Amino acid sequence: MKNTLSTATLLALALSAPLAAHEDHGCLDDGCQVQLLFADAGDTGGGTATTIAAKRFGTWGIDTAGMDRSAKPGTDFFRYVSGTWADTTQIPADRSSYGNFALLRDLSEARLRALVESYPLGDPATGGDAAKIAALYQAFMDEETIEAKGAQPLQPLLADIRAATDKDKLAALMGARGGFSGSFLGLSVTDDQRDPDRYALYLSQSGLGLGDREMYLRDNFAPQRERYQAYIAQMLALAGWDRPEANAKAVLAMETRIAEAHWTRAESRNRDKTYNPLALGDFATKSPGFPWATFFRSAGVDGTERAVVRQDSAIPRIAAIFADTDVATLQAWQAFQTVDNAAPLLSRDFAQAEFEFRSKFLSGQPEQRERWKRGTSFADGAMGEAIGRDYVKLYFPPDAKAKMDALVTNVKAAMGARLDALEWMGPATKAEARAKLQGFGLKIGHPDTWRDYSGLQVVNGDLFGNALRSNRFEWEYRRNRIGKPVDKGEWGMTPQTVNAYYSSVKNEIVFPAAILQPPFFDPDADPAVNYGAIGGVIGHEIIHGFDDQGRKSDGEGVLRDWWTAEDAAKFEAQAAKLGAQYEAYTFPQLPGMHINGRVAMGENIGDLGGLTIALEAYRRSLGGQPAPVIDGFTGEQRLFMGWGQVWRTLWRDDALRQQLVNGTHSPGHIRAFAPLRNIDAWYEAFGIQQGDALWIAPEDRVRIW
């Protein structure tokens, strides 16, 4: 399924190399969805890069000049904290949204550029990681060679599709991992949810080029479907495929049938329903009409005993659609998928067509990102940990880790105190919750061991071939781990990623180096601001272990029900109240669009619970002493302002629509104030009264963690 908010080059990599299942990662921001998983050892030895400093926010951590003090906190808290910033900030032409996540991603991107451009071009076969990274980047930057090749790199792939004249051969193409072909079915290798010490093969629904099923089925997305059909025809014509208009119509009709078979996003995140192990030999009986043996053999997983099926009732329907569809339509669909996925790596006509539809039309981004930005993303997607190794040397001093360790310890202790004080949870469930919290793992900054890229073949001047080999390298790495012990030291993000996550199967929280800088974390800032910003982020990730889905795994990462029925019912009632709050928010520029409370539930619980325990941790850090007043702001005011400042976000209308349809997080400008409405201390800190627009009566406030 396409993530239309992803950068183009990473999109090509992310779609063609199946990733570890991110359903088990409670990410802070949707940006984590395109990150590849990396692991183990190596040594770079690159050139010398100029360091680029992070920008500090004000003198004590808050950009007070960006506030609008004429706004009442109880009427519009986002505007109070960030109104002047919003008035004076323009979304860059090469972005569809902008805020503090994007600001830090720009910084990380500039730092990566300095690194990759410092690596000397040599022989990738003998020059180590530095020469490989240089070859990846410089091949992407060589527009003259790319233009001269035109569609030539695609021809062998299109020839394979033309030669696939029966369903068996088409299933083989769908099973082949590491290319640019599409599949009705996703394969991934990740920790087994019921046996977290072993890797398992997972199979899920796929096959939609337009994103979520709602894009195909809701009347208000008719313009997107019409433009998508034209885009399919355009890409088929560029590839020299016969009858592009007629084939585009047939492809969209087929994808619409697949969309009807798909589970909703809310259903697909329900961990009670998405763990369905099935022996590989039983797929033909359970889901007839699809050449399963060929599919699994082509993927190289035919020696595996079983696959865990995520959307079990959707798979038979998808298999039936494959069986009912004529070969010519399946070939055209595969040709389109291949061209669409490969387009960012091809000549300007392909790359521009892909940008015009996926970024400009769907997300409102006026201009293509500069080539160096896309080239940096390409190199980072292929060899992220090799670059990250040098990034850490430049930008992650040891004392930053020590200060984060202390913050995490305090927030974790606050969570323990909150657990002990819960009135709605019974002793049996509480004991299990304490054990889970006690077992939380923590990773800060970067891996202890680094990924070995010695097996990756890179060739100077061969952009398309390098992409194919990188994708295959990733899939082989994953495929060969099925049934083997889990690498507990592996990270799901590179150090230069501006994000954070919780892994339910490892029961750990992870904070890459790149997020540990202003406005999230400034070791020289006021502690209250840090508790509201990075403290809230730490709390958010801890709470993911206890949100509506994370709570379904125990302290060992095993998917099992450790709740009493009475406590589970109380939790679900409060969660439903929270979901209703978020679904009530309206977006005047997008009539009829709303946050899907069930889809964003885990993230919304994470925000509310995370900020609640960050506040508790800050209060405990004062040791009974009063907080200082700074520039007229109390400690708790500064804490809530720190949270609000982190979530500064501006949206283009089309990008906001895509976020509401395809994203798992509430929009940032909503996150800046929505959880605060359920925290009593926020009302007290800013004197918010009944009658203020953001007021919620005390008895109606959601109180979970």
**For position 22, what pLDDT does the model report?**
39
CA dist 673 to 100, 683, 692, Å?
16, 12, 14
- Cα–Cα nearest to 69, from 88, 83, 55: 83
**For position 233, what pLDDT does the model report?**
98
Distance in angstroms (rounded) separating the CA atoms of residues 688 and 74: 5
Distance in angstroms (rounded) separating the CA atoms of residues 601 and 580: 10
Residue 347's pLDDT band, with cuts at 50, 70 and 90, is very high
Distance in angstroms (rounded) separating the CA atoms of residues 644 and 80: 9
**For position 178, what pLDDT does the model report?**
86
Asked if pLDDT for residue 15 goes beyond 50, the answer is no
CA atoms within 13 A on the CB side of 174: 28
How many other CB atoms sit within 10 Å of the CB of residue 312? 19
Handedness of CA 141, 144, 147, 153 (dihedral sign): negative
The β-bridge relationship of strands 441-445 and 508-512 is parallel
Q: Are 468 and 178 in contact (CB under 8 A)?
A: yes
**For position 11, what pLDDT does the model report?**
28
Spatial CB neighbours of 608, under 8 Å, sequence gap ≥ 6: 543, 578, 675, 678, 679, 702, 704, 705
φ and ψ of 633, to 5 deg? -105, 135
Distance in angstroms (rounded) separating the CA atoms of residues 149 and 139: 13
How many other CB atoms sit within 10 Å of the CB of residue 632? 7
CA angle centred on 391, ends 47 and 143, rounded to 5°: 60
CA dist 323 to 78, 269, 288, 289, 317, Å?
52, 28, 8, 5, 10
β-partners of residue 27 are 501
Handedness of CA 351, 49, 61, 582 (dihedral sign): positive
- Of 8-22, 26-40, 292-306, the poorest mean pLDDT is in 8-22
Spatial CB neighbours of 159, under 8 Å, sequence gap ≥ 6: none
DSSP per position, 541-592: HHHHTTSTTGGGB-TTS-B---S-HHHHHHHHHHHHHHHHHHHT---TTSTT
The β-bridge relationship of strands 97-99 and 441-445 is unpaired
Burial 409-429 (b: 16+ CB within 10 A, else e): ebbbbbbbebbeebeebeeeb
pLDDT digits (tens, 9 = 90+) for 477-524: 999 999 999 999 999 999 999 999 999 999 999 999 999 999 999 988
Distance in angstroms (rounded) separating the CA atoms of residues 345 and 300: 26
- Cα–Cα nearest to 692, from 72, 75, 73, 70: 75
- Calculate mean pLDDT across residues 567-573: 97
Residue 33's pLDDT band, with cuts at 50, 70 and 90, is very low
- Calculate mean pLDDT across residues 625-634: 97
DSSP state of 178: S
**Which of 10-14, 29-33, 427-431: highest mean pLDDT?**
427-431
Q: Are 180 and 346 in contact (CB under 8 A)?
A: no
Q: Are 255 and 210 in contact (CB under 8 A)?
A: yes
**For position 37, what pLDDT does the model report?**
21
- Calculate mean pLDDT across residues 429-434: 97
Distance in angstroms (rounded) separating the CA atoms of residues 486 and 198: 5
What is the distance in angstroms between the CA of the first residue and the CA of the last residue of the chain? 34
Asked if pLDDT for residue 17 goes beyond 80, the answer is no
- Calculate mean pLDDT across residues 69-74: 98
β-partners of residue 199 are 191
pLDDT digits (tens, 9 = 90+) for 203-231: 999 999 999 999 999 999 999 999 999 99
φ and ψ of 309, to 5 deg? -90, 130
How many other CB atoms sit within 10 Å of the CB of residue 144? 8
Tokens 């970024």 identify what position? 359
CA–centroid distance for 113 within its chain: 22
Tokens 């007043």 identify what position? 629
**For position 303, what pLDDT does the model report?**
96
φ and ψ of 355, to 5 deg? -60, -45
Distance in angstroms (rounded) separating the CA atoms of residues 161 and 400: 52
Tokens of 684: 């007290």
**For position 96, what pLDDT does the model report?**
96
**Could you tell me the pTM of the whole model?**
0.92
- Cα–Cα nearest to 331, from 472, 185, 171, 153: 171
